[in-house]
Amino acid sequence: MPFLVLEIVLATAPSLVLAAAGIILYNRKHNLATMLAAVGFAAVAATQIYGAILALSLTPGAWSPHGWAYALLRWGTVPSHWAIIVGSWFAAAGLLWHALGGASAAPNNRWRGP
């Protein structure tokens, strides 16, 4: 059990920090690139939290067909799998777009030229 908690903390904490950084970046520069990064990192963090809840709930008594752990495993595995993939791509594309300067940093989101 201590190894499981350590693994959850090591896997979930960085995604939560990146989600918070994406939200802070979006609050500073409101544009599509930073929104993609914030939404992508938030999707990855939500998926990591889902995985942590599922991993902690895998006790022998939680596996009844009417238990909530069974419902999480049955209905949430495929959407969470795709959420982490799509979220990672959104975050990567948004950060790359922002870093290359494709999104304007002007307050009214209009490019003012060099």
Which has the minimum average pLDDT: 77-86, 89-98, 101-110? 101-110
pLDDT at 108 over 60: no
* pLDDT attached to residue 51: 81
Domain boundaries, the chain: 2-99
* pLDDT attached to residue 70: 65
- What are the structure tokens assigned to 36, written together? 């993609």
Q: What phi, psi does 112 have (nearest 5°)? A: -105, 0
* pLDDT attached to residue 77: 75
- Predicted confidence band at 114 (pLDDT cuts at 50, 70, 90)? low
The DSSP-derived string for 72-109 is HHHHHHHHHHHHHHHHHHHHHHHHHHHHTT-S--STTS
How confident is the model over 26-67, as pLDDT tens digits?
999 888 889 999 999 999 999 888 888 777 776 555 555 566
For residues 98-112, average pLDDT: 64
